[in-house]
Amino acid sequence: MSAATPEGLRAAADQLARALAEHPEAAPPAPPAGERHRLAIIARDAEHARALLANPAPALVATSEVTAAAAGSLVFLFPGVGDQRAGMARAAYDTMPDFRSALDECAELLMPDLGTDIREALFSTTDAASATDLIRTRIAQPLVFAVEYALATLLRRWGLHPSAMLGYSVGEYAAACIAGVLDLPDALHLLARRAELIEAAPRGSMLLVQLGPDALSGYLTDGVSLAAVNGPSVCVAAGPTEAVERLERTLLSQAVPAMRVKSEHAFHSPMMAPIVAPLLAELGKVSLRPAGIPFLSNVSGGWIDDAATTPTYWAQHLTQPVRFTDNVAQMWQLPSVLAVETGPGQMLCSLANLHPDRPTNTTAHVMPALSRMASPHGEVVALLTVAAQAWVRGFPVDWHAVSARTPGHPGWPGAAKPVRRTWPRIR
């Protein structure tokens, strides 16, 4: 609901509470457009809605004032691998047809390249082999891309169209696909082939270090190189495992915090050089088009340009450091940012919130869409919260699309169990 004044909004809330008490079976009215003061609640039923109107719970109630100073910037953040987990997106898949159809399309397009169905690894909670697949580069990278693409598809069907995007590592492929640089079949084939090449490459290791790039550079020897700049004082080093282990011991002996990254390869380092030629060969087979939506480049740290239409750019993307902190600095220059981590975790949210360029005013907001911490009420409520927070900040939302559900499965914890779907097993 919305109103021109805070007092009007409170009166509208009281009126709705009375209407729900008298007619709990009635559908709530569509929110009026154009009013500045807005309130959105996410409730199981009329009784729950009345309770929230009387005593708002922060996790289920969104409220804000839409300012006319500048148009807001909706930014999709696409993470890389690392936060994927068995069962993630299960509730969204069972209850939200737009998400399900997009994920199904990705899974079916990937079958010829992977020889397996990513949904089996994604939704199995008992099969040890499926759990292993979730951390294998060959499966994990296409799988994470597919979930991110399906989430972005769902949000866009809800009317939430990003004005800008930022992907971390393999997440930049999701941004490129949504922006139209790659079409979906080509993006999936490239990711599957890229992951296959990486898995066959020499093994290496990565180390998260609490130092800035200049301070870290003095420690980088024996083939270890800078792989990512996640923040002004947070970097990732990568290289041969023995050399990375020596670097870790040296840093810890000098009281510099350092932690090994769960990875069997030295991503975004010269150790990826042997697969550049075969990757370029694959890139030469696809069409690369100018971006229709601006997104930030991990390679340059700035906004993407026509370099993204060249195979060379994506080869550089594989071997050069991820300039994420520069990307975030650019993002925070946009007006009234609402950034949504459109993936399984919330690492990018944390890094964006800790960035020194983050505006201190209330118009800057970052939220995860699917992480374990996104909502205590589950991932469907977390996704609905994205729509609610976007609307109260003035972004247009298609509420008819948001309300679309698989019949009988509202997705709230404790609701009817979802139908278990099966699909052909690839032998």
On average, the pLDDT of the chain sits at 89
- Ordered domains of the chain (ranges, CATH): 2-65 (no CATH), 76-201+270-402 (3.40.366.10), 205-261 (3.30.70.250)
Determine what percent of the chain is predicted with pLDDT higher than 70: 90
Distance CA 38, CA 31 (A): 9
| pLDDT digit string, tens, across residues 255-299 | 999 999 988 899 999 999 999 999 999 999 999 999 999 999 999
59 or 247: which carries more pLDDT confidence? 247
- The predicted model scores a pTM of 0.91
pLDDT band per the 50, 70, 90 thresholds, residue 131: low
Measured between alpha carbons, how far is residue 35 from residues 248, 279, 361 in Å?
56, 51, 21
pLDDT band per the 50, 70, 90 thresholds, residue 414: very low
Do 392 and 338 form a contact (C-beta atoms < 8 A)? no
Which residues touch 132 (CB under 8 Å, ≥6 apart)? Answer: none
Give the residue among 394, 398, 409, 417 at the shortest CA–CA distance from 335: 394
Residue 226, helix vs strand vs coil: strand
Quote the tokens at residue 10. Answer: 């409170």
| pLDDT digit string, tens, across residues 73-126 | 999 999 998 888 888 889 999 999 999 999 999 999 999 999 999 998 888 766
